[in-house]
Homo-oligomer: A and B are copies of this chain.
Amino acid sequence: MRLARRASADEQVARRPRLLGVSGKMGENDAIRVAVSTVIFSLRSAPEGDRLMLPLVRRTREPYRGAWALPGGWLDAAENLDAAASRTLAETTALDPGYLEQLYTFGDVDRAPSRTISIVYWALLRSDYVDAQRSASDAPENVEWFDVDAIPPLAFDHNRIADYALDRLRNKVGYSRIAASLLPDEFTLTELREVYEAVLGRRLDPSNFRRLLEGSDELVPTESFRTGKHRPARLYRYNADA
């Protein structure tokens, strides 16, 4: 599968003259704070079928008190970046991600009142875990899921970050098998195709989709079938190795 690539927009910024003598030694970047945020995606049932959604948290502090924002927190001096992302993810959803990858580091001087750089990760969650948690109603407070096509205005530059993560997800779905991370262990080809359709936002030909994935070594057929209203569909699982 192939789809259009995205080009990151990076602007050339003119060299800023350094005021020597302001700080004695190099390495004294006292005023810089380091945050880690995560854009979390999962599928959730909606009237129009499964929709790609992400959780946002309502801010309880200034600045942007009361606004929606991406889950995140300050980097602890004794934890790795991946660990910080996992931690903030767990604090938000109490769930293990099936996929977690660093996205980009945002650090414009004016993106927050005090100089803050945000190392942003993105993650995929299995839809059945999320649904189970919702029905168990032990979901964390101040967290709400939003359709990626209806994200409200967010605090800081988080709208830009969420858009960037969505681009990356859509791009990467085209050439890797991360879609697995949004589904339970076993699934039908139609369910997998619907994941691709929800992520990409367009319909795919069922027969070509079948051939494409059956031809690859990524899927392993099982002996089980999902029975429903019509002809039963074979269940598949992802090939763990290669």
Which residues of B sit under 8 angstroms from A82, Cβ to Cβ?
7-13
Q: Is the CB of A27 within 8 A of B16?
A: no
Copies of this chain present in the complex amount to 2
Chain A interface residue bracket vs B:
35 or more
Determine if A218 is an interface residue (Cβ-Cβ < 8 Å).
no
| Known pairs A10-B101, A105-B81; A87 contacts B29 (CB<8 A) | no
| Known pairs A7-B176, A86-B11; A117 contacts B115 (CB<8 A) | no
Q: Is the CB of A7 within 8 A of B109?
A: no
Q: Is the CB of B15 within 8 A of A76?
A: yes
Q: Is the CB of B5 within 8 A of A175?
A: yes
Among A31-39, A196-204, A226-234, the one that faces the other chain is A31-39
A13 CA to B130 CA, complexed, in Å: 21
Which residues of B sit under 8 angstroms from A109, Cβ to Cβ?
78-80
Closest Cβ–Cβ distance, residue A93 to chain B (whole Å): 12
Determine if A102 is an interface residue (Cβ-Cβ < 8 Å).
yes
A96 CA to B6 CA, complexed, in Å: 18
Query: Which listed residue (B13, B84, B117) contacts A34, Cβ 8 A?
Result: B117
Determine if A214 is an interface residue (Cβ-Cβ < 8 Å).
no
